[in-house]
Amino acid sequence: MYIYIIECEDGSLYTGIAKDIVQRLRQHYHHLPGQAKYTMSHQMKTLRALWETEDKVTACRLEFWIKKLTRKQKLKLIENQNSIASVLPKTDEPLPEIKVIQGFDLSQVTTEQ
């Protein structure tokens, strides 16, 4: 599962999760069926951050906690994507594996097919 933060044309940030990141970003970018209500009125501009985790539970938890961050905190997280585990509440459980994905090719998303 993927956790992502996109920047919209108006400068706002949107956080989401996806099993198929290319399909999900295409939905946001091209206003395809299944896109989020938010991106219907806030055009996606670019992908700002992308992480991958092995399970949906971890992805959902991360999305939940990222959405609780202030804009300033989200921008700080974008600048230091390796600090993603810091948004999770402290527990005695071992931290799940969370991979930072860099160099994602947005042409897979922005090109009409």
Q: What is the spatial distance between Cα 40 and Cα 34, in angstroms, rounded to a whole number?
A: 10
Whether residue 77 lies inside any domain: the answer is: yes
- Structure pTM? 0.91
Average pLDDT value for the chain = 91
Does a structural domain hold residue 69?
A: yes
Cβ-based burial of 19 (10 A; exposed 0-12, middle 13-18, buried ≥19): exposed
* Per-residue pLDDT at 113: 59
Which pLDDT tens digit goes with each residue over 70-88? 999 999 999 999 888 888 7
18 within domain boundaries:
yes
Of the candidates 54, 37, 48, which has an alpha carbon nearest to the alpha carbon of residue 7?
48
Give SS3 for 108.
helix
- Is residue 87 assigned to a domain? yes
Q: Please report, in angstroms and rounded to a whole number, the separation of the first and last CA atoms in the chain.
A: 24
Residue 74 lies in a domain: yes
**pLDDT digits 0-9 by tens, 40-56:** 899 999 999 999 999 99
Total domains present in the chain: 1
27 found inside a domain: yes
Domain residue limits at 70? 2-104
Rg (CA), the chain: 14
pLDDT(91) > 90: no
Phi, psi for 13 (deg, rounded to 5) = -115, 140
